[in-house]
Copies of this chain bind each other. A is one copy, B any other.
């Protein structure tokens, strides 16, 4: 559990895209951050008050979150200076970088000396159980993609936000590093040891009120040969009552796999449902989420309309249109 509120570290981000983790936190949990910390030359801005460490501390910030990608896979000396100072001023640090904070000797030493926490959200900090398959109370919705990076996290966050806005009981359950930093907790599923994958998802989505929805962030794709095992564990550990199919229509091939075409939404449906019904015989596919960012407005709307008709399911782009249709479909279940 990462302590909130955060101060978002944007460093010397060369452009807005480099700060997409910070942007995600800002978009989805605006109350989790008191401000942003930008170094000289920073070209990103997530529209939070600019603060130095002392000001953020006075505003209540507990954790400095690295919300920016690092260049060249190293934590630069310029960053280090800020990070060390933050530890000394009483901040914990949280990071989803591939280089772990704990592996940086100077940071580890200062953290030890000051008693502060280094949260490396790419690696598990919990000893997960082996899945037991026992039915849990409460409702669960899992996003299932035709491919990696088609909008599964965004969709789960959007439906969660819509249900919360309606006053319904709802939680987003993060399974990747961005999601974990957004919410302050979760399971970095791609770093979990094989035998414990499904068990970690059971752990992440425990018994809950009968009318509570967990929105489980999907990972990979049943059709992505590099990561399909992770998707499988999410379905069987998550035992979803509902699944939302996620797709990006303009992609030429599976991400990182030039020889592999994307499957149709029908193919994903037909493969995912029998798999899900092993763990939860009542599981239904309730809707389709289309990432239309590569399409113009008219094209997007007609694609969505055609998809609804073809699939017999509500279809929307939660970024363009909000997730009301998907929340309606879950409420109707």
| CB-contact partner of A232 in B199, B228, B239, under 8 A | B228
Whether a CB of chain B sits under 8 angstroms from the CB of A237 is: yes
Whether a CB of chain B sits under 8 angstroms from the CB of A68 is: no
**Once bound together, how far apart are the Cα atoms of A226 and B259, in whole Å?**
31
**Once bound together, how far apart are the Cα atoms of A89 and B192, in whole Å?**
39
- B194 and A230: CB pair below 8 A? yes
CB distance from A300 to the nearest CB of B (A): 28
Give the most central of A191, A229, A271: most B CB within 10 Å: A229
> For residue A226, which residues in chain B have a CB less than 8 angstroms away from its CB?
130-133, 195, 198-199, 236
CB distance from A182 to the nearest CB of B (A): 21
Residues facing B in A273-325 (CB within 8 A) are: 274-275, 278-279
- B257 and A132: CB pair below 8 A? yes
Contact (A223, B278) CB under 8 Å given A133-B260, A232-B229: yes
Whether a CB of chain B sits under 8 angstroms from the CB of A134 is: yes
**Once bound together, how far apart are the Cα atoms of A259 and B131, in whole Å?**
13
- A191 and B194: CB pair below 8 A? yes
- B133 and A279: CB pair below 8 A? no
Q: List 28 A-B contacts (CB under 8 A).
A: A131-B225, A132-B226, A132-B256, A133-B226, A133-B254, A133-B260, A189-B194, A190-B193, A190-B194, A191-B193, A192-B194, A193-B194, A194-B227, A194-B230, A194-B233, A195-B227, A195-B230, A198-B227, A198-B228, A198-B229, A199-B226, A223-B278, A226-B236, A228-B236, A228-B278, A229-B229, A229-B230, A231-B232
